[in-house]
Chains A and B, each alone.
Chain A
Amino acid sequence: MHNHPLPRWLAAFALAALPLAGCDAHEHEEDFPSSVGAAPAANLSPQGIHVPPPPFTDGVFPCSDCHDPEMLLPNPRRRKLEMAHQEIELKHDAEHRWCLDCHDANNRDQLHLASGELVPFEESYRLCGQCHGDKYRDWRAGVHGRRTGKWDGDKEYLLCVHCHNSHAPHFAPIAPMPAPKRPVRTP
């Protein structure tokens, strides 16, 4: 099934996450293939979808700079983070989920699906699509999320994480632009 060995605890995590995953990920795998191996123009998927680079905070990527497996052993225990990332407040089904359900413990520069398949951050939509299959379907059709480009040609997509904070995905309220002036009746 997997083309790379998985530690047992990770396999357990993946199995535990399976019920959460919709059938969409598998359903769409074939018609939305991975662009792994493509050059940095990697942002162009085989379907011709342009995706800008993920919105990393400055200096945070590659994660392996700190999460060097030789220096820092992965700790699979669910716990309150104290050494780093304390600013992250998980409001994304926190009751059932934790960091390593999405981030891969052995390859910190990638994410993983419930199946254990590694997914680069540039394709994080495949990870989100496991649970949010209906949104994933709409997004691929160009109906969920913002589009720029041409209505009859190339369109630029955004990753889910450009609009939704993956740790607290509810769309944050924003300030409105000025209201129109009320018509004034001159005496």
Chain B
Amino acid sequence: MTDTTVSRRDLLCTIAGCAAAASVAGCTEPTHTDFFRSHLHELEPDEVKALLADLEQEYSAKYGKEVTVGMTEARPGVSFAYALDLSRCIGCRRCVHACVKENNLSREPEVQWIRVLEMDKEKGVDLHHANAYYDAETVPRPGHFYMPVACQHCRNAPCVKSCPVGATWQEPDGIVAIDYDWCIGCRCCMASCPYGARHFNWAEPELPAEELNPKTHYLGNRPRPKGVVEKCTWCIHRTREGLYPACVEVCPVGARKFGDLNDPASEIRYVLENKRVFVLKSELNTRPRFYYFYGV
């Protein structure tokens, strides 16, 4: 019987040999399927450019229309935060569906980054009695209030700490981002997120070409593959260009506010300075950038 045991040294030599062969073969410009490419933070600017071009080509071919994949970086000195007025939200779910369209979320299996929880006014904010599946002819239903929950973009993010491969991190402007091409799909981040904000692509995401939003960001709404985790990015492709996230613009009651904490004239600063504000599960010390407030 022959010995089929492969020593660690042999394995590493083989891998190194393959890598060397790949680089000799001229694969200096990484593609997003390139198993041997470096982490995004270690890529040179021209390598990032090549990576984006490769993605644009793939998506444009797949969806039959021109798709752009941007990589607008964080603006120096900007610190994003978000505030949601619980006294205004009526639970209409316009934000949920605007987010699905804007961010190219899978229609089937259904992935939604925002979950609107219906709660009893008598019980107050009580997650044990929250219902995300409420249905009614009109909202708000008497005796209820509504609490949309999505990624809280924690300053002390458990998901970032638990990722074994460094596929998720906090950007300088505060957005917690994921590199879908670096994610190995282990779902440790989902287990560690106390807000249920991360979602896994259990199957190949189904996204009709005619509904694809062709303006995308590498760390945001570009089409995702099966087997990776995704979540709210505060519409990174919009907010990095100075626009409001889609959910802010669509909210019919104006319950959603977004802006720069470092700008004393911003809406978000006004909220923090003048309203009653709290963060969800403050006892966990995740220090969210997402605030809930009472505007009345």
Stretch of A4-12, A25-33, A52-60, A168-176 at the chain-chain interface:
A168-176
For the complex, is A179 an interface residue (Cβ under 8 Å from B)?
A: yes
B158 interface contact, C-beta 8 A? no
The contact string, 1 if C-beta is below 8 Å from chain B, for chain A 164-187, is 000000010111111111100000
Interface code B93-115, partner A: CB below 8 Å = 1, 0 otherwise? 11011000000000000101001
- Given A141-B267, A151-B239, A151-B266, A176-B249 contact (CB < 8 Å): no
Q: B122: CB under 8 A from chain A?
A: no
Say whether A171 contacts B295, CB under 8 Å. Answer: no
* B135 in contact with A179 (CB, 8 Å): yes
- The smallest beta-carbon distance between B114 and chain A, in angstroms, is 10
Given A151-B244, A181-B110, do A173 and B139 touch, yes or no (CB 8 Å)?
Answer: yes
The reply on A46 being an interface residue by CB < 8 A is no
The answer to whether B93 touches A178 (Cβ under 8 A) is yes
Q: Which of B91, B243, B254 has the most CB of A within 10 A?
A: B254
Residues of chain B in range 22-51 having any CB-CB distance to chain A below 8 Å: none
Q: How far is the CA of A179 from the CA of B93 in the complex (A)?
A: 8
Known: A143-B270, A143-B295, A150-B243. Is A171-B90 also a contact (CB below 8 A)?
yes
- Which residues of chain A have C-beta atoms less than 8 A from B253's C-beta? 146, 163, 171
Partner of A151, one of B136, B139, B259: B259
Is residue B126 contacting chain A, with contact meaning CB distance below 8 A? no
Q: Are A150 and B244 within 8 A (Cβ)?
A: yes
The residue in chain A whose Cβ has the minimal distance to the Cβ of B251 is: A146
CA of A180 to CA of B111 in the docked complex: distance in angstroms?
9
A138 interface contact, C-beta 8 A? yes
* B132: contacting residue among A144, A163, A174, A180, CB under 8 A: A180
CB B256 to nearest CB in A, in angstroms, measures 9
Does any Cβ of B come within 8 Å of A142's Cβ?
yes
How far does the alpha carbon of A109 sit from the alpha carbon of B126 in the complex, in Å?
50
Nearest 10 interchain pairs by C-beta: A146-B254, A173-B138, A177-B93, A142-B267, A145-B254, A150-B242, A141-B270, A176-B139, A151-B259, A148-B249
**Chain A residues within CB distance 8 Å of chain B:** 138, 141-153, 163, 171, 173-182
Q: A176-B134, A177-B92 are in contact. List 4 more A-B contacts (CB 8 A).
A: A142-B267, A145-B254, A147-B254, A175-B138
